[in-house]
Amino acid sequence: MRRLTGNGVATEKFTDTVGVLTSWDDDGMLTITRRDGETVRIPESALVAGKVVPAAPARRRGPAATYRELARVAARGWRPVESERLGEWELRAAAGFTRRANSVLPLGDPGLPLDAALAAVRRWYGERGLPAYVQTATGAEGTQELLCAELERRGWVREVSAELWTGGLAPVADRAAGAGVLLDREAGEEWLARYQRKGVSEVALKVLGSGPSVWFATVPGAEGGAPAAIGRLVVDGRWAGFAAVEVDPGLRRRGLATEVMAALARRALEEGASAAWLQVETDNEGARELYGRLGFAAHHAYHHYRAPGADGS
């Protein structure tokens, strides 16, 4: 959409907004949802022109994948301890350990009008003493810009946004020797000593260990100290998902994160995987730089919306 901004002839200029047209109400107000989930409202009176932007061409980097495929793979790699279906929505709970395991994953029709579905969601989480969250996505074919706009219209608050990136697995395996990286099927005490979330509960351990084929990587640190670096991997068919790649702050920029990922990538290749995915927050510049060097690129953004009045944490 192209609109005219400014208050006078001297200050007027054209501004372009690219996104999904999620509403055009009777009061002459257009709502556009950008790729990153931001909502832009444009008065009809300021509209100069608009055109349909064709679907983006296939990315030159990374494997082809639909949003639904990746959303399901990511969900299988980070399972809640309790879940329930509401039509094509999945309600997930894990005693509050991470929003991903304590939010609704909507991948279609909930089988109810939206207001009734959201009321059911709030009841379900309220019965468990948890704030109600809905995880939505923007920026890829089949994502949920319209749902984002409807949630915002109802007062739901977007608290966290991140991106899911994809890339080839073999290039990661080839980047480093992976020497000195120990692999284990369980998150032991040593691994947990480096993990950013302290005081990990039994529920958290269940979530960390969930997935079709899970591996934990550790680079030992000084004797008696926490590991120099850690990482987590879940292999699911052709996909390998990286998570919890963390390095001792005093040892960063020495290639340890790359060593961890290379060792895990080799294990995933041995299990038949060929493609990789990971999730990274939009403000984590260091991680984004690393993953870009390893050949990853953003596939879509995802967002967690909290119900109005819910106490999030």
Question: How far is 238 from 93, CA to CA, in rounded Å?
Answer: 27
Q: Is 106's pLDDT higher than 50?
A: yes
Question: Rounded to the nearest 10 degrees, how much is the dihedral formed by the CA atoms of 84, 86, 87, 88?
Answer: -70
Q: Are residues 77 and 39 in the same domain?
A: no
Q: Are residues 217 and 150 in the same domain?
A: no
Residue 153 located in a structural domain: yes
Q: Is 107's pLDDT higher than 50?
A: yes
Q: Are residues 233 and 187 in the same domain?
A: yes
Residue 31 located in a structural domain: yes
pLDDT (tens digit per residue) in 272-295: 999 999 999 999 999 999 999 999
Residue 57 located in a structural domain: no
DSSP code of 249?
G
Q: Are residues 178 and 269 in the same domain?
A: yes
Residues near 289 by beta carbon (within 8 Å), at least 6 away in sequence: none
- For 100, 104, 167, the CA distances from 89, given in Å and listed in that order, are 14, 7, 28
Q: Is 96's pLDDT higher than 60?
A: yes
The predicted pLDDT at position 225 comes to 86
Q: Are residues 179 and 201 in the same domain?
A: yes
Give the residue numbers spanning the domain of 14: 2-49
Please tell me the total count of domains within the chain: 3
Q: Is 313 helix (H, G, I), strand (E, B) or coil?
A: coil
The predicted pLDDT at position 310 comes to 74
Question: How far is 107 from 104, CA to CA, in rounded Å?
Answer: 9
Residue 281 located in a structural domain: no
Residue 244 located in a structural domain: yes
Q: Are residues 182 and 261 in the same domain?
A: yes
Q: Is 195's pLDDT higher than 60?
A: yes
Q: Is 301's pLDDT higher than 90?
A: yes
The predicted pLDDT at position 224 comes to 77
Parallel, antiparallel, or unpaired: how do β-strands 297-306 and 133-138 relate? antiparallel
Residue 280 located in a structural domain: no
Contacts of the segment 11-14: beta carbons below 8 A, 24+ positions apart: 14/48
Q: Are residues 175 and 153 in the same domain?
A: no
Question: How far is 196 from 198, CA to CA, in rounded Å?
Answer: 6
Q: CATH number of the domain at 221, please.
A: 3.40.630.30
Q: Which of 173, 174, 164 is nearest to 277 (CA)?
A: 164
pLDDT (tens digit per residue) in 43-64: 877 787 787 765 444 333 468 9
Per-position DSSP letters for 202-223, written without gaps between them: HHHHHHHT-SSEEEEEEE--ST
Residue 161 has which token pair? 């946004």
Q: Is 87's pLDDT higher than 60?
A: yes
> Quick one: what percent of the chain has pLDDT higher than 90?
71
Q: Are residues 31 and 90 in the same domain?
A: no
Per the prediction, the chain carries an average pLDDT of 89
The predicted pLDDT at position 50 comes to 81
Residue 254 located in a structural domain: yes
Q: Are residues 8 and 84 in the same domain?
A: no
Give the range with max mean pLDDT: 9-23, 57-71, 75-89, 193-207.
Answer: 75-89
Q: Are residues 268 and 174 in the same domain?
A: yes
Q: Are residues 30 and 88 in the same domain?
A: no
Q: Are residues 7 and 89 in the same domain?
A: no
Residue 59 located in a structural domain: no
Are 241 and 273 spatial neighbours (Cβ–Cβ below 8 Å)?
no
Q: Is 36's pLDDT higher than 90?
A: no
pTM: 0.82
